[in-house]
Structure 1
Amino acid sequence: MSKPLEILQKYWKHDAFRTPQEEIIASVLEGKDTFGLMPTGGGKSITFQVPAMMMEGICLVISPLVALMKDQVKNLQDKGIKAIALTGGISSDEMIDLLDNCQFGNFKFLYLSPERLQNDWILERIKNLPINLIAVDEAHCISQWGHDFRPAYLKISKLKEYFPKVPFLALTASATKRVQDDIIEQLQLKNPSLFTKSFERENLAYMVFNVEDKLRLMEQILKKNPQPSIIYVTNRKACSETVKQLESLGFSATYYHGGLSSKEKDNHMKLWMDEKVQTMVATNAFGMGIDKANVKTVIHLHIPPNLENYYQEAGRAGRNGEKAFAVLLTNPSDVIHVESQFLSVLSDKEFLNLVFKKLCNYFQIAYGEGIDEKFSFNINQFCTKYGFSVLKVYNALQFLDRQGIISLSQEFTEKISLQFIIPSKEVIRYMSLNPQDEEVVLTILRTNPGVYESQSVINISLIAKKSNSEENKVLAILHKLHEKQVIELHAKNNDATITFNEVREDERTINRVAKYLEAQNKLKTEQLKSVLHYIKEDKICKNKLLLSYFGETISKECGVCSYCISKRKLKIDTTIVQEKIIGLLKIQEMDSREIQKLTKYPKDDVIFALQNLLENDSIIVQTNNTYSIKTLK
C-alpha cells in the first residue's frame, strides 16, 4: 500500500506535510475518531483526502459550503480522482443517478451538505455505500456556541449508529475551547485524538489604528508595502468605490464580491493572482480556497462581525513565512455607531416570519408546496417590492439558510426566458436549414413544451447537458434565434439563487427554529463586544488579546503589533498635548489631521490625547469626524 507522503507527492505535488497534517492522517488510518483544529491556510482537506485515497471505499465529506464543495470536487476531478457533490437544486432523479454512481462507479469522495442527511431515502442509500471515513468540515457549525451554528449538523451523529467502526474526522479553522468541547460531545466522538495547531502567527503583525482619514493611511501602507494585498469591506458598493479611490491615488486594484458572474470572478481573481494588480478589494465572499503565499498586507476598512472571521481573513497574509501585516482601520464614528447599526439589522421572530411568508408569495409557492424548488433571486428587487431593509433581509435569509429551510447560493446568475414567435412548421424549416442548431432547439422544445404559448424560463445548464453541448454554445444559438426573429429572448440578472428545502408551512416552519434565533442573536452581540474590546483595548498586546479569545495563553508580547510598537516609542507628556488641543478647539472645530499639523506633535500622541479628552468628556466628536469643546448645558 502507498504511504501518505507518496500519495501527497503523486496527486498534490507537495514534498512534505505541514504540522499537524501527518499526525491527523496517521490517527485516521489507525481507525480513531479525530479532531483537528487547523487555522486558515493549514490545509484541512489534505487530512481526509490523503487517507481516503489509501483505503478501500468512499469518503463521505459533510460541508455547509456549496462553493467549497464544488471547488474541491473540481480539483479532485482535475487530478483524475472520482468525486461527486450532492448540492442544492439537484432533482431527486439526478440524485438517484449520482448515488448509483457512488455505489457502483468506484468513486472515492461523496460531498454533501448536512441538510441532505435529513432526507430518509438519502440516508438509506448512504447506509449501503462502502464508507471508509466520515469527514465533518466546518465542524464548529454543530455548536450553538459557534459563530455559524446550523441545527442540521446535530443529525450527523446519527451516522455513528450506521457506521460504528468508521472513523470520524472533525475539522474546523476557528473554535474557542467551549466550542471544541461541544463539537466532541455533539458528534459523539469516542476517545478522539486531538490535534490543535496554535493560533499564533509569529510573522504576522496585528495593527489597529483609530483614524479619521482611512484612505490616507491606507495609501501610506500600500506605498510602503507594494506587494500583493487584500482590502476587506462589508458590501459590494464599498468594493467599487474603494477601487476607484485607490486608482485615483495611482494604485492598481480590482474587486471581488458575490454579485459578479463566474467569468468576472475568474478574470478579477486572475489579475490579482498573476500580480497584474496590487490590491484585491473584497467582501467576505473572497477567500475560500485562496492560497496566495506572498500576500503582504490584509486591511479591514470596516469592523468585522466576529473575531473568528477576522482571524481567518487576516490570516491570508504572510503564508510564505515572511513578515506581514493585518491592519484594522477604525474611526471614532465607527466605534460609536456600530453597536446600534448592528442591533438594528438583527431579525426577531416576527420579522423572520414576515420575510419567509413574503418570500413564498414572491415565488408563488402555495401552502404545503415548494420543496426542492429553485429560483433566481435579486435581493434588491425583493426588498424594494416589500419595503424591507436589504441588510436586515439578508441576515434573515442567512439564518433560514443555516437552519436548512432554504439554501441561499450567492452566485451571480442570468435568468433566461424565451418564447417562439413563428409557427412550428417554420421552426422545423429553420432546423433543416441550420442542422448545427437542431439538437439544441429540439431539446428546448422537448424540455419546455409551453414555449409557443408564453415566455418560459430556460435552464441553460440542463439544455446544454441534454443536448451534449456547452453552455456558451446554447447561449450563442439563443442569441442567433433572437436576431433571426425566431424567438423573443429576455435575460435578467440575479445575484443569488434560492432553493426551498422543505414545504411551506409559514408559522410552523418558523416556530420550529425560533428558539435558535434568540440564542444566535445573543451570541452575535457577545461576539461583537469581543471585537470592540479587541479594538479599544490599548494596554495589552494585540496578539495576546487574539490568542486569549481562542483559549491560548502566552506570557510574552509579540513585539510587532500596534500596541507593542507604540509602547516602544518615547511618549510626550500627554497633559501638554491635551492643553494645546483644548486651546485650538476653543477657536474652532478641527479634525485630527488639522490638530496634528498645528500642534506639530506625532500622530500617535495626538490620537492618544484626543482619546483621553473624549473619555474625560472634555471634547466631543461630530458626525463629520471633527472635534469640538463639550459645552455644559
Structure 2
Amino acid sequence: MDALTLLKKYWHHDSFRSPQDLIIQSVLDGKDTFALLPTGGGKSICFQIPALMKPGICLVISPLVALMKDQIANLQQRDIKAIALTGGISADETINLLDNCQFGNYKLLYLSPERLQSDWVLERIKSLPINLIAIDEAHCVSQWGHDFRPAYLKISKLKEFFPKVPFLALTASATERVQDDICTQLGLQQPQIFKKSFARENIAYMVFEAEDKLFRIQQILSKNPESSIIYVRNRKACHDVSAQINALGFKSTFYHGGLSSKEKEKNMQLWLEDKAQVIIATNAFGMGIDKPNVKTVIHIQLPENLENYYQEAGRAGRNGEKAFAVLLLSPSDIQTTKSQFLDVLPDKVFLKEVYLKLNNYFQIGYGEGINESFSFNLNQFCGHYKFPMLKTFNALQFLDNQGILSLSKEFSEKITIQFLLDSREMLRYLSLNPADEPVLTAILRNYAGVYDMPTALNLNLIAKKAATSEEEVISILKRMQQKEACNLTAKSNDSTLTFNEVREDEHTINRVAKFLQQQNELKAKQFESVIHFVSNNQTCKSTLLLDYFGETATNDCGICSVCIQKKKESKSPIEIAQSILSMLQDSSLTSREIENSLELTSEETIFALRILLENNKIRINNLNQYSIL
C-alpha cells in the first residue's frame, strides 16, 4: 500500500502537507533525514506512515510522556499497534512490553531517551526488527536548544547497532545553530534536509501595551467571537482568569497540569466542541492539539522564550484563515517577568542542596534509590526545608531533564484498600451484592495481599478488567466501606517522583553542573530576545520572528501591530483634540470610550485630553467622564 493510500485509509486526508511526502520518501529511500516543521506541520505522520509501509517496527524517541500517550491513543483509535516504554515502569513490565514488541506485530515503539541508558533495555532493543529510528523534539540533543537533555546524546550510539536503519530527526523550533548541532550530535550521515518556512502569513502578531488587560481581552473576544486560547503562567491564574472571563459573559474553561485526566478531557471537549469560546491554559496545554478554527491566541504575560511563544501563537489559524496572536504588555511586565524567570534559576550550590535534601526526605542512603518511586508534594517539601517554591521547581525540572529523576506532573489520586472480611465472608458478600462481583473479583485476582495489608489499586486496570468505569469502581468500594467490609483511603498527590540513578551526592551534581550553567546563560539570552521582540516598534513582528529563527523575510507582513501602525496616517495632537471636542458636543464620555471611538492609542488619547484640560476646554466629573466647559 503506498503512502497516500495509507494517509487516506487511516487519517482520512486526501493529500500531504508540504513537505511531508518528500520527507517520507527520503526515509523510505533509507536516507538519514532532518525535518524542521514549525508547529502544525504534521511531524508525526512523517514517521508513522513509513512505519506502516516497511516490515518491522519504528523506534520513536520522545521526551514528552504526555505526547507519547496522546499519539499512542490516536494510533490505537486507528487500529495501529503502538506501545510506549516510559519512566516509572517496573523491570517486569518493561520485559513484557518488549516481548510484545518482538512477537506482537507492533509497528511503533515509543520510549524516552533515558531508557537507552539502561544496558539491558538497549540489548533487547538491538534484537528488535527496527526499520526506522525517529527522534522527536530533536532540539533536545543540542546544548544550544531551549530544552537540552543530555540523555539525547546517547542516541547516536544506535548508529553502531543499526548502521543501515535511517534516522529521522524532527523539531518544530530550532535556530540555525541548533539545526547544525542536531545533525552533528545525532551522527546523521549526509542527511536530507527539509525545512518548512516559519512564516505564517495568515497570523497577525500583535503586541499592545495595556494597563487594563481584562478590558482589552473583553474588546478582543467581542470583536472576534470565535474559538480562542488565553495563555497564563500558572495554575492559579487559570482559575482566576477563567472566572473573570465568565463574569464578562464569555463561556470559558481552563486547562493545566494540576487537573485530573478526566477534568482535562472534560474541559478540552467543551472547547473542542465550541461549547466554550475560550480556554485559559498554562503551557501544559497544546501537545497534539490541532483545532483548525482557533481565531485568537492571547498571551497576558511575557513568554519565557520565542520558541515557546511561536509554538503557542501558532495554534491560531490552522484553517488558513486570518487569525490573531496577541501579546498584552503592561509597563511593569518586563521587570516582573525577569525576576520570575531569571532570578529563580538555581545555581550549582542550590541544586546540590535540593538533591541532598530530596534524598534525605525520602530516606535514601548513599548508593541506593534507583527506580524507587514516591508520592511527592512540592508545597510540603518546600515548606519542610523552607525552600523558595519556583527555584526549587526549576531545580527539580533540571534534574528531570538530566534523567537523574523523573517528576510526573500528572495529578493523581491514590486509592488504597484492605478487605476486612475473610475469604468465606467475602463469598457471602458477593452473593448478596452480585452487581459488585466483576469489580471485586478483578481486585482479588490482581491483588493477592488485599486481605493482609493496605494495597494501592490501579483503578484504570480494575475498571478495564471489570468492563466498567473508574467512577463505578470507587462507588462500589465506598459502599463496601460503609458496610465496614473494607478500609478505603484516597490520597491526592501533586505528582510522582522516581529516582533513575543511585544516590551519589557530589558526583551526581558535578557531572551535570556545566549543563546547568549553559542552560542559565541560554535562558538569559532567550529572554533578551523576547524583550527585543516586544519592545521593537519599528520592525514588522513577523520579520522579527523569522529573523530569530534564521530566516529572512522578503516583505513586511502588513497585518501585525507595527505594520498597521505604520499604515495609519499619523494625526497631530491638535487634530485629535479637535476630534475629541466634536465628540463631546453630544455627550460626556470616558477616556476609554473616546479611545475606542476614535481608534486611538492610550498615549494619543491621554496626551490630547491633557492639552484640552490645560487649556480649559473640557472638564472631568466624578464618574471620570469628560465634557465641554
Q: What TM-score do the two structures reach when normalised by structure 1?
A: 0.89
| Between 473-482 and 120-129, the greater mean CA deviation after superposition | 473-482
Deviation, 1:604, is 5.1
> 1:80-116, CA deviations, whole angstroms, 9 ceiling, x for partnerless residues?
1111100122111111111111111111111000000
- Change over 3 Å in CA distance of 1:598–1:16 after alignment to 2: closer
CA offsets per residue over residues 20-79 of structure 1, 9 Å max, x none? 100101111111000000000110000011111111111000000111111111211111
1:448 and 1:367 map into 2 onto residues whose CA distance is: 32
Q: Per the alignment, do residues 606 and 244 of structure 1 end up closer, same or farther by CA in structure 2, a change over 3 Å counting?
A: closer
Partner Cα distance (1:360, 1:42) in 2: 42
Tell me how far 1:499 sits from its aligned partner: 2.1
Q: Which structure 2 residues correspond to residues 546-557 of structure 1 after superposition, within 5 A?
A: 546-557=545-556
Give the distance between the partners of 1:327 and 1:9, measured in 2 at CA.
36
Which residue number in structure 1 is paired with residue 335 of structure 2? 336
* Aligned counterpart, 2:383: 384
Deviation at 1:462, TM superposition (A): 5.2
Could you tell me which residue of structure 2 aligns to residue 583 of structure 1? Answer: none
Matches of 2:443 and 2:356 in 1, distance apart? 33
Alignment of 1:115 onto 2:114: yes
In the alignment, the residues of structure 2 paired with residue 465 and residue 382 of structure 1 have an alpha-carbon distance, to the nearest angstrom, of 35
Aligned length: 596
Letter paired with 1:77: Q
Letter in 1 for 2:529: S
Q: 1:574 to 1:515 in 2, by over 3 A?
A: farther
Question: What is the distance in 2 between the residues matched to 1:455 and 1:379?
Answer: 25
User: Who is 1:615 aligned against?
Assistant: none
* Residue equivalent to 2:97: 98
- What residue identity is the alignment partner of 2:429? Y
Match of 2:603 in 1: 607
What is the DSSP-based 3-state SS (H/G/I as helix, E as strand, rest coil) of the residue aligned with 1:296? strand
1:146 deviates by 0.3
User: Percent same amino acid at aligned positions?
Assistant: 64
Query: In structure 2, what is the equivalent of residue 248 of structure 1?
Result: 247
Matched residue type, 1:31: G
CA change 1:6–1:542 in 2 (3 A) is same
Deviation at 1:471, TM superposition (A): 4.1
Alpha-carbon separation, structure 1, partners of 2:518 and 2:604:
37
Pair 1:356–1:429, CA change in 2 (3 A)? farther
Aligned counterpart, 1:626: none
Q: Give the whole-Å Cα distance in 2 for the aligned partners of 1:334 and 1:425.
A: 67
Q: Residues 139 and 146 of structure 2 are in contact (CA less than 8 Å); yes or no, is this contact kept in structure 1?
A: yes
Kindly state the Cα deviation for residue 474 of structure 1 after the two structures are TM-superposed.
Answer: 3.5
Residues 191 and 7 of structure 1, relative CA distance in 2, 3 Å threshold: same
- Which string of whole-angstrom CA distances, capped at 9 and with x for unpartnered residues, describes residues 208-262 of structure 1? 0111101111100100000000000000111111111111111110000111111
The answer to which of 234-243 and 418-427 deviates more is 418-427
Q: 1:568 and 1:376 mapped to 2: Cα distance?
A: 57
- What is the distance in 2 between the residues matched to 1:14 and 1:457? 44
Q: Which residue of 2 aligns with 1:66?
A: 65
CA distance in 1, matches of 2:55, 2:314: 36
Corresponding position of 1:348? 347
C-alpha change, 1:316 and 1:455, in structure 2 (3 Å) is same
- Residue 80 of structure 1: SS of its match in structure 2? coil
How many angstroms apart in 1 are the aligned matches of 2:452 and 2:404? Answer: 34
CA 1:16–1:240 in structure 2 vs 1: closer, same or farther (change >3 Å)? same
The residue type equivalent to 1:118 in the other structure is Q
**SS of the counterpart of 2:38?**
coil
Task: Mark the CA change 1:262 to 1:606 in structure 2 (over 3 Å): closer, same or farther.
Answer: closer
The residue number in structure 1 matching 2:399 is 400
For residues 184-223 of structure 1, what are the structure 2 equivalents within 5 Å? 184-223=183-222
The letter of the residue matching 2:411 is F
Deviations 1:103-156 (A, max 9, x none): 111111110000000000010011111111000000000000000000000000
The 1:599–1:320 alpha-carbon spacing in structure 2 relative to 1, beyond 3 Å, is closer
Aligned residue in 2 for 1:494 = 493
Which amino acid is the alignment partner of residue 475 of structure 1?
A: I
Output the amino acid matched with 1:545. Answer: L
Tell me how far 1:383 sits from its aligned partner.
Answer: 2.3
- How has the CA–CA distance of structure 1 residues 415 and 603 changed in structure 2, closer, same or farther, with 3 Å as cutoff? same
Q: Does the 8 A contact of 1:577 with 1:605 survive in 2? A: no
* Displacement of 1:470: 5.6
Q: Name the SS for the 2:294 alignment partner.
A: coil
SS at match of 2:477: helix
Contact 1:571 1:605 in 2 (8 A): no
Q: Counterpart in 2 of 1:166?
A: 165
- 8 Å Cα contact 2:139-2:174 kept in structure 1: yes
Bigger CA drift: 459-468 or 271-280? 459-468
Amino acid at match of 2:501: E
- Give, in whole Å, the separation in 2 of the partners of 1:367 and 1:576: 76
CA distance 1:575–1:35, change in 2 (3 Å): farther
Equivalent residues in 2 for 1:533-544, closer than 5 Å: 533-544=532-543
How many Å separate the matches in 2 of 1:469 and 1:447? 16
Counterpart-to-counterpart distance in 1, 2:201 and 2:48: 29
1:397 Cα deviation (Å)?
Answer: 1.6
Equivalence for 2:610: none
SS in 2 for 1:276: coil
1:232 alignment partner AA: Y
Rounded to whole Å, the distance in 2 between the matches of 1:119 and 1:314 is: 38
Distance 1:306 1:454, change over 3 A: same
User: Is contact 1:376-1:413 (8 Å) kept?
Assistant: no
Whether the 8 Å contact between 1:577 and 1:606 is mirrored in structure 2 is no
User: Take 1:306 and 1:482, find their aligned partners in 2: how far apart are those partners?
Assistant: 51
Query: In structure 2, what is the equivalent of residue 589 of structure 1?
Result: none
Distance 1:490 1:556 in 2: 63
Ranges in structure 1 where 5+ consecutive residues have no aligned partner:
579-592, 612-633
Secondary structure of 1:154's partner?
helix
Counterpart in 1 of 2:580? none
Taking a change above 3 Å as real, the CA distance of residues 599 and 318 of structure 1, as seen in their structure-2 partners, is: closer
- Give the Cα–Cα distance (whole angstroms) in 2 for the partners of residues 439 and 534 of structure 1: 59
Check whether the contact 1:140–1:148 (CA below 8 A) recurs between aligned residues: yes
Distance 2:237 2:259 in 1: 14
Structure 1, 596-605 or 348-357: larger mean CA deviation: 596-605
* SS in structure 2 of the partner of residue 558 of structure 1: coil
- Determine the structure 1 residue equivalent to 2:258: 259
> Does the 8 Å contact 2:54/2:131 carry over to 1?
yes
For 1:327 and 1:182, the matched residues in 2 are separated by 32
Q: Which amino acid aligns with 1:357?
A: L
Q: 1:601 to 1:463 in 2, by over 3 A?
A: closer
Question: Does the aligned pair in 1 maintain the 2:591–2:605 contact within 8 Å?
Answer: no
Aligned-partner residue type, residue 34 of structure 1: T
Give the Cα–Cα distance (whole angstroms) in 2 for the partners of residues 40 and 605 of structure 1.
32
Amino acid at match of 1:22: D
CA–CA distance in structure 2, aligned partners of residues 600 and 447 of structure 1:
66
1:494-542 residue CA offsets vs partner (Å, 9 max, x unmatched): 2322222122223222222111111101111111110011011111110
Give the secondary-structure state (helix, strand or coil) at the position aligned to 1:488: strand
Q: Where does residue 366 of structure 2 map in the other structure?
A: 367
Q: Within 1, Cα distance between the matches of 2:55 and 2:457? A: 41
1:258-294 CA distance string (max 9 Å, x none) = 1111111111111111111110110011111111101
